[in-house]
């Protein structure tokens, strides 16, 4: 909103200083500062409100050290995160930008599903909360909407240029010496693939066996992939939210990395220098991810050990979905296994634990566990590591994975 206000003041009245709102870096800085202030101020008041209403977490005794001490800690703190993201975005972003619209919708949609789950647990006193089936259905619907918009919306394009000298010379013959290379904006199902020289992969190629015109059916493979990524990352973030500051700190690191990737992908100079696909208008996403990082850091103020508040599914489902959709939008979703390696490890530990236990129980009559407990962070807790040490080491691994993700831009 403020972007449009100051743009009007600049064009209509030549208002001094109003033109600074045109700069992406200035609005991104305002977004992160505002989100930090909101999360710190609103967070304190929200925690006090939850304490007065005795809206606390019900802890099931799993035999973990210090676990029962968290009994009664306020939950539903995800509302702090959602508010701290949405307010700065509405204030400083270009709200007509299709990418911003998608990210706002993702935040509200998954935040709403998570809130409903927390509400049932806390106020209806039902420990099971919202059925897992309904959570997945909600995630699938989001994936379907994002996939359809990404594929069919005319504002979502990739700027492609000629890759070979032959193409360049042909373009020079047709258009004259002013044309350095062929450029066009086109809807595309291309994405970035790490560790490969030309680092681009078109999902439609998976349907090349269909013969001529197979590109027209690319949505049959693209949309299911989008759905799978959103469901996987959202649930991965949910599983990671089991220790004070773990999901929050990890997500902040991931957000910073995605912000850098969005910046270079939305800047034609950096995109050309790094030889990555340029996404027109995607630079505006820097505003959103700045607010996201500010919200994570601000929430971490209250969520660090010992936590004063838990985010609940209101926060964990939303931040996982935000990360997934953001990565898909900037065509970096194939980097998720690296960047979100913590989420992946947590999810795999649960899948392996449950699958192997069921397999051995069926085969030998007695289930055998791979880990002392899953998700993975609880395995280390069972080994006797203090919770703060586990969280700090996971965050160190997260930083390493973030650096590795950035390096993939040139490591081919």
Which of 257, 254, 256, 276 lies closest to 265 in space, CA to CA?
276
pLDDT at 143: 96
pLDDT band at 175 (very low <50, low <70, confident <90, very high): very low
Of 54-58, 78-82, 188-192, 348-352, the poorest mean pLDDT is in: 54-58
CA distance 406 to 400: 10
pLDDT band at 160 (very low <50, low <70, confident <90, very high): low
CA distance 111 to 314: 5
Of 66-80, 133-147, 261-275, the poorest mean pLDDT is in: 66-80
Burial class (CB in 10 A: 0-12, 13-18, 19+), 276: buried
Of 30-34, 39-43, 226-230, 272-276, the poorest mean pLDDT is in: 272-276
Report the mean per-residue pLDDT for the chain: 88
What is the arithmetic mean of pLDDT over 152-160?
A: 87
Tell whether the model's pLDDT for residue 19 goes beyond 60: yes
HEC assignment per residue over the chain: CHHHHHHHHHHHHCCCCHHHHHCHHHHHHHHHHHHHHHHHHHHHHHHHHHHHCCCECCCCCCCCCCCHHHCCCECCCHHHHHHHHHHHHHHHCCCCCHHHHHHHHHHHHHHHHHHHHHHHHHCCCCCCCCCHHHHHHHHHHHHHHHHHHHHHCCCCCEEEECCCHHHHHHHHHHHCCCCCCCEEEECCCEEECCCCCCCEEEHHHHHHHHCCCHHHHCHHHHHHHHHHHHHHHHHHHHHHCCCCCHHHHHHHHHHHHHHHHHHHHCCHHHHHHHCCCECCCHHHHHHHHHHHHHHHHHHHHHHCCCCCCCCHHHHHHHHHHHHHHHHHHCCCHHHHHHHCHHHHHHHHHHHHHHHHHHHHHHHHCCCCCCCCCCCHHHHHHHCCCCHHHHHHHHHHHHHHHHHHHHHCCCCC
Tell whether the model's pLDDT for residue 367 goes beyond 50: yes
pLDDT band at 166 (very low <50, low <70, confident <90, very high): very low
pLDDT at 66: 64
Of 3-7, 246-250, 406-410, the poorest mean pLDDT is in: 3-7
pLDDT at 171: 45
Residue 233: other Cβ atoms inside 10 A: 28
Name the maximum alpha-carbon separation found in the chain.
80
What is the arithmetic mean of pLDDT over 366-390?
A: 91
pLDDT tens sequence across 281-330: 899 999 999 999 999 999 999 999 989 999 989 999 999 999 999 999 99
pLDDT band at 412 (very low <50, low <70, confident <90, very high): low
What is the arithmetic mean of pLDDT over 177-193?
A: 70
Residue reference for tokens 């027209």: 216
Which of 381, 356, 378, 376 lies closest to 367 in space, CA to CA?
356
* Percentage above 90 pLDDT, the chain: 59
Domain limits, the chain:
33-335
Tell whether the model's pLDDT for residue 98 goes beyond 50: yes
pLDDT band at 57 (very low <50, low <70, confident <90, very high): low
pLDDT at 329: 96
Tell whether the model's pLDDT for residue 154 goes beyond 50: yes
pLDDT at 180: 46
Tell whether the model's pLDDT for residue 359 goes beyond 50: yes
CA distance 112 to 25: 30
pLDDT at 165: 41
Burial class (CB in 10 A: 0-12, 13-18, 19+), 347: buried
Which of 329, 339, 325 lies closest to 251 in space, CA to CA?
339
């Amino acid at each position: 909103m403020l972007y449009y206000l100051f743009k009007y003041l600049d064009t209509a009245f030549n208002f001094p200083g109003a033109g600074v709102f045109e700069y992406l870096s200035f609005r991104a800085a305002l977004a992160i500062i505002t989100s930090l202030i909101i999360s710190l101020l609103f967070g304190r008041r929200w925690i006090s409100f939850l304490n007065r209403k005795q809206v606390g977490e019900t802890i099931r005794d799993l035999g973990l050290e210090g676990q029962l001490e968290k009994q009664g800690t306020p939950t539903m703190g995800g509302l702090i995160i959602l508010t701290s993201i949405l307010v700065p975005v509405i204030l400083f972003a270009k709200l007509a930008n299709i990418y911003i619209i998608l990210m706002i919708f993702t935040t509200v949609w998954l935040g709403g599903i998570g809130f409903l789950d927390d509400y049932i647990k806390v106020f209806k006193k039902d420990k099971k909360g919202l059925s897992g089936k309904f959570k997945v259905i909600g995630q699938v619907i989001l994936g379907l909407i994002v996939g359809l918009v990404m594929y069919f919306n005319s504002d979502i394009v990739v700027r492609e240029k000629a890759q070979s000298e032959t193409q360049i010379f042909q373009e020079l013959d047709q258009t004259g010496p002013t044309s350095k290379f062929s450029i066009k904006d086109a809807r595309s199902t291309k994405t970035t693939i790490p560790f490969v020289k030309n680092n681009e992969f078109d999902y439609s190629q998976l349907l090349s066996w269909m013969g001529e015109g197979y590109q027209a059916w690319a949505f049959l493979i693209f949309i299911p992939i989008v759905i799978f990524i959103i469901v996987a990352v959202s649930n991965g973030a949910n599983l990671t939210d089991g220790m004070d500051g773990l999901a929050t700190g990890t997500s902040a690191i991931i957000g910073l990395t995605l912000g850098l990737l969005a910046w270079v992908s939305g800047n034609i100079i950096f995109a050309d220098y790094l030889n990555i696909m340029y996404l027109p208008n995607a630079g505006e996403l820097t505003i959103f991810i700045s607010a996201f990082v500010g919200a994570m850091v601000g929430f971490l103020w209250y969520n660090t050990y010992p936590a004063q508040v838990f985010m609940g599914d209101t926060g964990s489902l939303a931040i996982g979905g935000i990360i997934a959709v953001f990565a898909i939008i900037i065509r970096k979703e194939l980097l998720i296994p690296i960047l979100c390696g913590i989420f992946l490890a947590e999810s795999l530990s649960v899948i392996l634990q449950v699958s192997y236990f069921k397999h051995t129980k069926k085969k030998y009559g007695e289930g055998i566990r791979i880990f002392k407990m899953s998700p993975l962070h609880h395995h280390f807790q069972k080994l006797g590591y203090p919770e703060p040490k586990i969280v700090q080491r996971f965050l160190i691994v997260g930083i390493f994975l973030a650096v590795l993700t950035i390096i993939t831009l040139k490591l081919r």
